[in-house]
Structure 1
Amino acid sequence: MTDIEPGRPVDLHALALETEPVPADMVETGSPVAGAAALAEIGEVEVGVWEMTPGVATDIEADEVFVVLSGRATIEYLDPALPTAEVGPGSLVWLTEGMSTRWTVTETLRKVYIAG
């Protein structure tokens, strides 16, 4: 967990994240790297920051609500009943555990997430 203190602001745009390549079995296009930093735990809920560089990758989601801080992406829900989502700064998205998604990141995406 990243060292933060109650009552002290954190610049989420400048927060350094350790990144690594997205696992090859998840990558469809490009060579994206991703990283995350857990910032706080409130009960059993984690609050953190996540980032991914441009590329296309799939994922199986956890229960999460996030707000995009910077960057742009298209999130395709591999369940055909859900529409594709275009996200950018200020977008709020709710994902539920088990959703299959395809992320097409066109500008390095950074989000703050709340996950349980």
Structure 2
Amino acid sequence: MTGLAPNAMTDAATLEVPLEPVPAAQVLHGAPESGWTALTDTVGVWVHTPGVSTDVEEDELFVVLAGRATVTFPDVDAAPLDLGPGSVGRLAAGTATVWTVTETLRKVYVSGGG
């Protein structure tokens, strides 16, 4: 875990993010890897390599820095999110998602409500 001290900065586009295989129970296609580096208790950088996987979300606001993906919501009536650099999105806690990542996705997230 990397911390970000007050009155400091980091380059989220190049910050090292350790990756691990997505758990097999969550993989729908391919062999994606993902990981995150926390900057504070509620802010971090998350990366997901190409592939398709499922997740259950936390309250989160995010900004995509790089990559391409589509997020679908199998259990709620919501339009798919087509993500690319500059996309800003919000996810609700407890929402089931399917992430179809076509180019390694890197995002900065802020979690915890709001």
User: Is TM (by shorter chain) over 0.5?
Assistant: yes
Determine if the alignment matches structure 1 residue 50 to structure 2 residue 50: no
How big is each residue's C-alpha offset from its partner over 1:62-108, in whole Å with a ceiling of 9 and x where there is no partner?
A: 11111101000000111351111100111111101111110000000
How big is each residue's C-alpha offset from its partner over 1:33-74, in whole Å with a ceiling of 9 and x where there is no partner?
A: 001011013xxxx00000000000011111111110100000
TM-score (norm 1): 0.92
Corresponding residue pairs, total: 112
TM-score (norm 2): 0.94
Distance (Å, rounded) in 2 between the aligned partners of 1:9 and 1:21: 29
- Among 78, 86, 103, the alignment partner of 1:107 is 103
Greater than 3 Å deviation, 4+ residue runs: none
1:1-80 equivalences in 2 (<5 Å): 1-41=1-41, 46-80=42-76
The runs of 5 or more residues in structure 1 that have no matched partner are none
The runs of 5 or more residues in structure 2 that have no matched partner are none
Q: Which residue type is aligned with residue 3 of structure 1? A: G
- Select between 76-85 and 23-32 the one with higher mean Cα deviation: 76-85
